[in-house]
Structure 1
């Protein structure tokens, strides 16, 4: 025992031991002194620099923005006089890494409306902060975009929904925000928007009415639903317990995007219209042997893509944005 005590004393004498005060005192490397990084808080000057670069490449001023979800990049093919700029060539821009997301901005005209389309979005599970994921939305607004149409591929929770249904988003539940993970986190720049934006009017009701009327006009209203979208972090799909919890919470469809983009768009004063293409039924039965996978999502998106794209095109023509 005596030998053990002597060995312990020798070890402690050779080690660098801190007092309680030293341990708690902030140092240069202390998290309390760490400033919010550029990735966690988008700078206004950064957005302006991106806009300057893009304006040197394009000849239009877009008033409408479109974000294409998984497998829905075909929307960009409808754009006339298109000018494509890859994300990798844009300063500060994050780059898409997920199958079904090409990673480029497409500028041009849709139904004579000057638009900018994100052909492929950025997800936080790719390693980017939510602020960085929504940088393209900030840039759209700075370029002159007043209305944003955001689309996604989502899993259906509502038992009345079928694969290939199109859900108009009337509201969302932003689960990352429950833990303080929010694209508006950090110092607020009033040039972007207010510190505390209300969210009860995030999805524009007049735009929702136009979408419903357009679907009826095209004869596809039997596939149209209107519901609540739930955003999870991903990249894993939901457990059965999570799926049951989400359904009890009143959520109709679930995905890994969109809500943070809608928050930033609304924060900056843009009108927002959102859609979810139901690409799979979320598994809620412990006895089921089915599994969700991304390939299934992309395949299901193809089945309704043309009708979905036609509806978006027709909606744009009815918005009077020229």
Structure 2
């Protein structure tokens, strides 16, 4: 994989001559964050060597390079999921490319289903830990020490310093944010009521189909990570019957302005 990553990095550098410090992965309904970037280059995924192509509605499929408040940023407008049929190595390939381009801090966003009884649809949750229930692990197989160590310490998957700064920003902006533990499942089905109960019993506050693999690989490469989730549905009896992807996108879209403002200020001030 090292050679593939270097080939992709070379292509991107030849095309952009750009050195990003921040990487941002935009989840369902949050692709509008690109409007906050002073865009200098846009590379569609289908033009980038070795890159997968997103197949999910709401994920546009391009790498965007530019600046936010003077900070250099590369944003993934659309991510890849294991349920799309990609291997975990393919799902997380862009994270390795980002690191080799110079990214030191990664911001990941997603839409998730809530099981915490204090959550409501539209709530913004700062992820401080996760539970990996994916059926495959992105670091399975022979380890390449050029990327990172064989055994990765996951004691702080999400940067405490970034979390503290984000909460400070949220208070200043008057935005209510929650804390939460995110549980990653394969998908693509939404959870049954019994599965939502399982998620809660296991100690998580919300559940989704992404993020965990990317965070694991980011930590493997010693990147600092910040995670944020929008609660787009609640795993409660009487409400899950109406959950659809369109409703998830709509709920994420409604929360998007607050999420965008928070992420933008975090990049500027951290």
Q: Normalising by structure 2, what TM-score? A: 0.98
Structure 1 unaligned residues grouped into runs of 5+: 1-42
Give CA deviations for 1:172-211 in whole Å, capped at 9, x if unaligned. 00101xx5x1010111000000000011111110000001
Higher strand share: 2
- Give the alignment partner of residue 214 of structure 2, picking from 254, 261, 283: 261
Give CA deviations for 1:53-76 in whole Å, capped at 9, x if unaligned. 000111320010000000000111
Structure 2 unaligned residues grouped into runs of 5+: none
Deviation (angstroms), 1:289 = 7.0
Deviation (angstroms), 1:290 = 2.4
Equivalent residue number for residue 182 of structure 2 = 229
- TM-aligned CA distance change 1:113 to 1:289, over 3 Å: closer
Deviation (angstroms), 1:81 = 3.3
Equivalent residue number for residue 89 of structure 1 = 47
Equivalent residue number for residue 13 of structure 2 = 55
Equivalent residue number for residue 234 of structure 2 = 281
Task: Please give the alpha-carbon distance, in whole angstroms, between the structure 2 residues aligned to 1:111 and 1:282.
Answer: 38
Tell me the secondary structure at the aligned position of residue 308 of structure 1: helix
Equivalent residue number for residue 166 of structure 1 = 124
- TM-aligned CA distance change 1:289 to 1:197, over 3 Å: closer
Equivalent residue number for residue 12 of structure 1 = none
Equivalent residue number for residue 291 of structure 1 = 242
Give CA deviations for 1:189-244 in whole Å, capped at 9, x if unaligned. 00000000011111110000001000001011xx3000100110000011111111
Equivalent residue number for residue 92 of structure 2 = 134
Task: Please give the alpha-carbon distance, in whole angstroms, between the structure 2 residues aligned to 1:156 and 1:126.
Answer: 23
Equivalent residue number for residue 306 of structure 1 = 257
Deviation (angstroms), 1:79 = 0.7
Task: Please give the alpha-carbon distance, in whole angstroms, between the structure 2 residues aligned to 1:95 and 1:224.
Answer: 32
- TM-aligned CA distance change 1:84 to 1:289, over 3 Å: closer
The structure 1 segments of at least 4 consecutive aligned residues displaced by more than 3 Å after TM superposition are none
Equivalent residue number for residue 216 of structure 1 = 171
Task: Please give the alpha-carbon distance, in whole angstroms, between the structure 1 residues aligned to 2:5 and 2:51.
Answer: 10
Equivalent residue number for residue 188 of structure 1 = 143
Higher relative contact order (CA 8 A, sep 6+): 2
Task: Please give the alpha-carbon distance, in whole angstroms, between the structure 2 residues aligned to 1:289 and 1:243.
Answer: 10
Equivalent residue number for residue 107 of structure 2 = 149
Equivalent pair of 2:9/2:97 in contact (CA under 8 Å):
yes
1:123 aligns with 2:81: yes
Task: Please give the alpha-carbon distance, in whole angstroms, between the structure 2 residues aligned to 1:302 and 1:135.
Answer: 27
Across the two proteins, how many residue pairs are aligned to each other?
270
Q: Normalising by structure 1, what TM-score? A: 0.82
Tell me the secondary structure at the aligned position of residue 83 of structure 2: helix
RMSD, aligned CA: 1.1
Task: Please give the alpha-carbon distance, in whole angstroms, between the structure 1 residues aligned to 2:242 and 2:83.
Answer: 20
Task: Please give the alpha-carbon distance, in whole angstroms, between the structure 2 residues aligned to 1:239 and 1:227.
Answer: 21
